[in-house]
Structure formats: structure tokens, C-alpha cells
Amino acid sequence: MGAHVSRDDFEWVLTEEPHASRRKIILEKYPEIKKLYGYDPNFKWVVTAMVLTQFFMLKIVPQMSWSVLTLVAYCFGGVINHSLMLAIHEIAHSLAFGHNRPLHNKLFGFFANLPIGIPISISFKKYHLEHHRYQGDEKIDVDLPTLLEAKLFCTTGGKLVWLFFQPFFYSLRPLVVRPKPMTPMEATNLIIQLTFDAIVLKLFGWKALAYLLIGSVLSMGIHPVAGHFISEHYMFRKGFETYSYYGPLNWITFNVGYHNEHHDFPAVPGSRLPEVKRIASEFYDDLPQHNSWSSVLWDFVMDPEIGPYARIKRKHMGLSS
């Protein structure tokens, strides 16, 4: 299975997560960044165009062979679906319609969720906001790999397998590490999604539904756009737990690559994160950063110093009020 990783434990630290303190320092120097807070009025139209594109594809893919369908799902449909997942990330921060319209955000999240094939919109939010507030907490931050994952996938080949199955680990880990009861909104998300899937199956057949699901799964695994899962918080430089990526794939992923900027200012929509970096450049230019998500995936697999263990963790201190 190739070289064994050099680490045998996570990187445990006693410091607090770095983003709240850096946000305070930056705002003291550049209070004008607060003017960037709030939703992007163009966001909903971009997301709507992507959803409608996938609806259009449902009429085309049933004519394709399975091999061509899979290739199209990987190269095209999966990219759109992954972008819609990152749209749901924006919606989780109330950046579709603003904090004063929570129902609008939730309903639009259901809409953005449709081509993905599985219901994620509401569940993602209730775990993701904790990832921001309790980054690295051993019990609360479900973005962290489990000890079992780190022990099982600790070789070159093992890391490759782990990347391939990352969609399942990413989706199922919260249910194991930090299970929460289903909320009425999650049930609504589930019913709407299953109804949509049934309609697709009835009107367009199995190939159309498979196109959506295959694209969603493949685009979260060994795929260039999935590189952000690794680039964001895996420790490529000792002591640094969040990394930004400034490459061209930000254009189709709502600038999720500006990840230090996002964690520092989660109230700023992705479209304005480059402006945060421009204003406060001295706080970001010298931080370790990535320029290729494909290279991130390659380095994760091939470098024995990187793997599921390469994450900064903190002992659980309880939930703050």
C-alpha cells in the first residue's frame, strides 16, 4: 500500500483557534471591512442558472451510454453539483438573502440542493457553524477525521482510498461523532429531495437520476474541485491550521479557496473575499497558501508527512453560551 505516514497522532495544541483574534485585530486597523458584510444580490441568479442547467441536462443524458454519462458527470455535472454544495455553504451563512430572512435562505437552500440528489442543506448548516466556532475541538468539529480513519488510511494507497470514499466519510462522520436529532426542517429537506428524485426517475429514467448522483459523489472524491476539502485545514506547514487557495477554480466555487479570509470574516460573501485580502493584504500574504487543488491532492497522497493525522486538534472545553 506504499509508504506509511510519519505521524501517529494529531497535532494537539493549547491555543485557541486563530480567526476570532485575527478578525479583531484586522477590524481595528481596517473597520471599512464591515461594509463588505451582507449578502450578494447576484448570488441567487448564479445559483438559479446552475440549477436550471442541470435540469436541462436531465433531458440529454438518457441518450448517452453509461461510460459517456459517467465522463460527463465527472467533467461537467459533478462540477456544477459541487459548486451547488458550496452555494449551500454560502446559504448556511445566510448569504443568499441576509440574516433577517432566514426562511428565504432555507427555501433557497432546498432549491440549490435539488440537483445534488441527496438532502444536505439543513444538516450541513447545523454542523458547519460549529466548525467555525469550535475549530479543532475534538468532540464538536466534525470536519476532523476520526481516529479510526487516521489509523486505517495511513499509507500511500490507503490515503488514495480514503480520498475516493471521502464523500461517504464527510457525510456520515457527523452521524457517528456528534449525532443530533432530525429537525422539522431537515425532514422537510428530505421529503422535498426524495420527491424531486422520484419525479426525475419518473420523467427521465434511471440514467438521469444516476447522472446527478454520480456527479455529486465523484466530484467530492478524487476530483480537482474536491481539493479544497484537503487544502482548507490539513497541516501542510507545522502550526498552521487554515490555508487559502488563490487559483482559478475559485471562479466556479464561490471563492471558497479564500479560506483564511472566510474564517476571519464569515459574514462576507464569497464574491467579496478577494476584497478582504486586498484591504488587509499584510495579514494574508505571508501565510502558507495553495495555488493548485490538484497538487494538494497529489501531495496528500504521496507525502508521508501528510494524511488524516495532519490536523490540529484541541481538547474539548465544553460548549460556550
- Give 10-residue mean pLDDT values along the chain (321 residues): 89 96 98 97 98 98 97 98 98 95 97 98 96 96 96 96 94 93 97 98 98 98 97 96 98 98 98 98 97 97 95 89 56
Q: What is the pLDDT of residue 318?
A: 79
d(CA 216, CA 7): 31
**Residues 23 and 264: beta-carbon distance below 8 Å:** yes
Q: What is the pLDDT of residue 86?
A: 98
Distance of CA 39 to the CA centre of its chain: 19
Stated pTM of the model: 0.95
DSSP string for 47-91:
HHHHHHHHHHHHHHGGGS-HHHHHHHIIIIIHHHHHHHHHHHHHH
**Whole-number Cα distances in Å, 45 to 52, 162, 267:** 10, 35, 20
Q: What is the pLDDT of residue 321?
A: 56
Distance of CA 312 to the CA centre of its chain: 18
Q: What is the pLDDT of residue 319?
A: 76
Distance of CA 13 to the CA centre of its chain: 24
The alpha-helical segments, DSSP class H, found in 114-183 are: 121-133, 147-152, 156-164, 166-177
SS3 content of the chain, % helix, strand, coil (to 5): 60, 5, 35
Q: Is 267 exposed, middle or buried (0-12, 13-18, 19+ CB in 10 A)?
A: middle
Q: What is the pLDDT of residue 286?
A: 96
Vertex 132, ends 188 and 104: CA angle to 5°? 35
